[in-house]
Structure 1
Amino acid sequence: MTTLTHRLRPTIRVRLTLIYGLLFLAGGIVMLVLTYVLLKNNLRSSVSVATRHMDPATIPGGPEAPPKEMIFGSSPDRLITAGEASGVLVQSQVSFQRETLNSLLTLGSVALAVVTAAALGLGWLFADRALRPLHRITETARRVARSHDLTERIAYAGPRDDVKELADTLDTMLERLARAFDGQRRFVANASHELRTPLAINRTLVDVALRRPDPSEDVKRLGEALLVVNGRHERLIDGLLTLAGSENTVVDTSPLDLADVAGHVLGQAAAEAAARGITARRDLGHAPTSGDPVLIERLVQNLVENAIRHNHQGGELSVTTRGDGGQAELIVTNTGPVVPPYEIETIFEPFRRLGTDRVHSDRGSGLGLSIVRATATAHGGIVTAHPRPGGGLTVIVRLPAANRHSHPADGHRGRTPG
């Protein structure tokens, strides 16, 4: 009901047109009423003057005038008195007054309706002209949102009014956003170097220490523990940098097929799935879209790794891609622990995991699904999830579909065990 009400709400142009028309109609009605009252009073005064002039008491000789004051009536054979003539004249004046007022109301109403319709048409045109600066602001904001080019400005050169103030405010906001995104990109680039380099050095030193010919058992256990911790820190930093990068604008996009990306990722994860006895099934249909290939691959990789990591021994994994209604869909379903419905949204938050998984360092960094949602949002898509009956999770990614083009037959992409 709320959506229907929102759709039926008239636009500001329609509202302005109706306001113009209603104001003109109200003014016309007031003018018509005033004209009616003034004309009615004027005609009433005319009738009173005519009656007074035709009063028998004012006629020479009075009401008992001699026969010479008799005048002809409707026929030569009928004579009427001056008093009767006065009554006839009064009735004629009253009838004339009534017909004149009725004609005024009828013709005035018709004219008011015609002029109001013309006022509505002119109001529609004037409203469009008045809203043209706002349309320009909206088009510029839409271009910036689609192209992610924060260097573009509205640069409105109109008079100093409310529209000019709005345009200047939006230009100031775009300038601040551009500086903020530039600073974030520089931070990501610097953090990528400053954080990864020490961890790479630590990993190398620990690996060299473990490769010595005579390390003690304590040194081996300590080195292996340090490598695990160091590897988790590397994954954490890599996930944070990817999350920060995916939340920025996607500049480099190219056509790709989710089926090809999913097939490549499943091939890389086949060994890990087999080691845990997980049966991977694929139904990779044609799903063309466009985006950053690296980020899209990371999105699919995070979903597949999450489905394997949070699965049970001997479980199942299903990956489906398809094009549906102008969208490219990726569906990843896995068996595993029961996911409460109220926990669905929390698993997409950074560092949020289900149950006691947050205490296990080998279960990832807690950024996998956060990166998936951020990447999909940066590409204009959405991510939804719902619990799988019997345990596990189904995650659906919908991205805008690219224009359909010729593609090889998809017969080899049937449902087969991984």
Structure 2
Amino acid sequence: MTRSIRPSALLPHRMPLRARLTLTYAVLFMLAGVVLLGLTYLLFNQQIRTTTTNKVIARIGGPPTGTPSPGQVTPRQATPPPLPSKNELFAMTKDGEVLSGPKAEEWMREQRQELRDAATTSLITQGAIALLVVGGVATGLGWLIAGQMLAPLHRVTETARRIAEAPAADKGLHERIALRGPDDEVKELADTFDTMLERLDRSFDGQRRFVANASHELRTPLTVSRALVEMAMHRPSASPDVKRLGENLLEINLRHERLITGLLLLAGSEREITDPAPVDLADVVGHVAAHTSLEASRAGITVHEEAGEAVTSGDAMLLERLVQNLVENGIRHNTGEGGWVRVTSRTRERGDLVELVVTNSGPQVAPYEVPALFEPFRRLGPDRVVTAKGAGLGLSIVRSVARAHGGEVTARPRKEGGLEVRVTLPACPDEYATETLDQQRLTV
């Protein structure tokens, strides 16, 4: 059985993009050159024909045809012109005037110079105009063709920019370029980029699943250990040493529980908000201030709230956690007795963004240490020890929640000590948001 061979199989597997661009511009240049050459030839030929028709009639030898015979008077002449000798150079102008000898040579020299000047003018002036016209057309065609050939590169760039600017990693990494076209360098780049995105997507999903599953699995032994420690502490025969040891173990156990809860929340906050709803940060600020009042009073900290209307769209539980983490961070990292925390929510004047600003007193913080505060498990100074109250995930969770809602978090140290943390989120000022919030408040 014979196997047929397609003609395309005899051609190279692909033509590189560089070769395609080179071939395209070479063809365009050759076409432009041919057109320019043809136009120049036509213009020059026209100029020569016009100049020759209006100029010279010259001969060496006997009188030209039509020369008046001796004694004959032309209508334009009152007396017959002198005739040249038989072998003398003579010329007749377009006006019928007959020149001979040195005058004919001088006249023909002038005519040759005029012809040369006309040809030069035709080549330089008209050729330059033709060159500009043809060059402009060739540039326009080259621009269109280059844009058509480089359009896949723009698509790759736009996709990469959207993925880089995506607030949630899940949403960005699930996007693919899926470029269709000739098998060249651009398609190879797009396919490689898609493969990289697929691997990153699997890696991030696996990491989040691992954190979530590990956190869930660790909750059970911690709950059992807490129950055993409490039973040992509350036995009638428990000695004071056992009770003190039990209190220390419960404190360590509580810290581990906070760590696991923070890991779960961090893993959940990095996902895309699938069912956003209008949330007024003013309600959240009031609720969090009331909830943290007991901890603040025990630490001698005063919490001031300035809850202005600031309606955004997102997950109410995550936004509440964002505000709570900021307030708790301001309480725990403060000067102690006499310290304060101020929580402010408002809508910007243009109405496109809402702000949450949490300011607290406290120790001095170096400006170069502020970016590290938003990294997981990063603490400052003595708070790096194991017995610290926090798990080192508070501000990391704040940043993840803000980015999942399309916002951003910034922080700056205060000159008097402490921090000012500012959260900006997209506003949700439409009528639907107002109606939904009113229904929620009536239900509560």
Q: If the TM-score is normalised by the length of the shorter chain, which range does it land in? A: 0.7 to 0.9
Per the TM alignment, residue 151 of structure 1 is displaced from its structure 2 partner at its CA by 4.7
For 2:195, which of 172, 180, 205 is the aligned residue? 172
- Identity level (%): 54
Per the TM alignment, residue 28 of structure 1 is displaced from its structure 2 partner at its CA by 6.0
Partner secondary structure for residue 406 of structure 2: coil
Partner secondary structure for residue 338 of structure 2: coil
1:311 maps to 2:334:
yes
Instruction: Please name the residue that 2:209 is paired with.
Output: 186
- The answer to whether the Cα contact below 8 Å between 2:40 and 2:130 also exists between their aligned partners in 1 is no
- Where in structure 2 are the equivalents of 1:268-307 lying within 5 Å? 268-307=291-330
TM-score by length of 1: 0.76
Q: 2:241, 2:364 → 1: CA distance?
A: 39
- The answer to whether the Cα contact below 8 Å between 1:288 and 1:404 also exists between their aligned partners in 2 is no
Q: Which runs of no fewer than 5 residues in structure 1 stay unpaired?
A: 1-15, 411-418
Q: 1:66, 1:108 → 2: CA distance?
A: 45
For 2:183, which of 160, 178, 181 is the aligned residue? 160
Per the TM alignment, residue 164 of structure 1 is displaced from its structure 2 partner at its CA by 1.5
Per the TM alignment, residue 54 of structure 1 is displaced from its structure 2 partner at its CA by 6.2
Instruction: Please name the residue that 1:339 is paired with.
Output: 365
More displaced 10-residue stretch of structure 1: 285-294 or 336-345: 285-294
List per-residue Cα deviations over 1:71-94 (Å, max 9, x = no partner).
Answer: 687799986323422321231122
1:115 maps to 2:134:
yes
Larger radius of gyration: 2
Per the TM alignment, residue 95 of structure 1 is displaced from its structure 2 partner at its CA by 0.9
Per the TM alignment, residue 224 of structure 1 is displaced from its structure 2 partner at its CA by 0.6
1:86 maps to 2:105:
yes
Tell me which amino acid in the other structure corresponds to 1:183: G
Partner secondary structure for residue 355 of structure 2: strand
Instruction: Please name the residue that 1:416 is paired with.
Output: none
Q: 1:224, 1:258 → 2: CA distance?
A: 37
Partner secondary structure for residue 381 of structure 2: coil
Q: Which runs of no fewer than 5 residues in structure 2 stay unpaired?
A: 1-20, 64-83, 438-444
List per-residue Cα deviations over 1:295-341 (Å, max 9, x = no partner).
Answer: 22222111110000111212111111122252222110001111122
Q: 1:134, 1:276 → 2: CA distance?
A: 59
Distance 1:129 1:286, change over 3 A: farther
1:134 maps to 2:157:
no
- The answer to whether the Cα contact below 8 Å between 2:62 and 2:87 also exists between their aligned partners in 1 is no
Q: 2:197, 2:96 → 1: CA distance?
A: 99
Per the TM alignment, residue 59 of structure 1 is displaced from its structure 2 partner at its CA by 4.8
Q: 1:207, 1:95 → 2: CA distance?
A: 119
Distance 1:203 1:84, change over 3 A: same
- The answer to whether the Cα contact below 8 Å between 1:311 and 1:337 also exists between their aligned partners in 2 is yes
Distance 1:71 1:389, change over 3 A: closer
Tell me which amino acid in the other structure corresponds to 2:238: P
Per the TM alignment, residue 352 of structure 1 is displaced from its structure 2 partner at its CA by 2.4
Tell me which amino acid in the other structure corresponds to 1:192: S
Partner secondary structure for residue 421 of structure 2: strand
Q: 2:159, 2:372 → 1: CA distance?
A: 35
- Where in structure 2 are the equivalents of 1:349-364 lying within 5 Å? 349-359=375-385, 361-364=387-390
More displaced 10-residue stretch of structure 1: 350-359 or 143-152: 143-152
- The answer to whether the Cα contact below 8 Å between 1:239 and 1:368 also exists between their aligned partners in 2 is yes
List per-residue Cα deviations over 1:120-162 (Å, max 9, x = no partner).
Answer: 4434433442233334445555666477165554333312111
Tell me which amino acid in the other structure corresponds to 1:110: I
Q: 1:361, 1:76 → 2: CA distance?
A: 118
- The answer to whether the Cα contact below 8 Å between 2:412 and 2:421 also exists between their aligned partners in 1 is yes
For 1:218, which of 228, 233, 241 is the aligned residue? 241
Q: 1:192, 1:200 → 2: CA distance?
A: 12
Per the TM alignment, residue 227 of structure 1 is displaced from its structure 2 partner at its CA by 0.4
Distance 1:161 1:104, change over 3 A: same
Q: 1:297, 1:76 → 2: CA distance?
A: 105
Instruction: Please name the residue that 1:386 is paired with.
Output: 412
Instruction: Please name the residue that 2:124 is paired with.
Output: 105
List per-residue Cα deviations over 1:55-74 (Å, max 9, x = no partner).
Answer: 9xx6579xxx7489586877
Partner secondary structure for residue 148 of structure 1: helix
- Where in structure 2 are the equivalents of 1:222-241 lying within 5 Å? 222-241=245-264
Tell me which amino acid in the other structure corresponds to 2:341: L
Q: 1:76, 1:133 → 2: CA distance?
A: 69
- The answer to whether the Cα contact below 8 Å between 1:277 and 1:315 also exists between their aligned partners in 2 is yes
Per the TM alignment, residue 221 of structure 1 is displaced from its structure 2 partner at its CA by 0.6
Instruction: Please name the residue that 1:259 is paired with.
Output: 282
List per-residue Cα deviations over 1:6-36 (Å, max 9, x = no partner).
Answer: xxxxxxxxxx9xx97xx969x769967x969
List per-residue Cα deviations over 1:162-211 (Å, max 9, x = no partner).
Answer: 12212211221222123213312321232122111111111111112222
Tell me which amino acid in the other structure corresponds to 2:316: P
Bigger helix share:
1
Q: 2:246, 2:347 → 1: CA distance?
A: 48
Per the TM alignment, residue 268 of structure 1 is displaced from its structure 2 partner at its CA by 0.8
Distance 1:178 1:106, change over 3 A: same
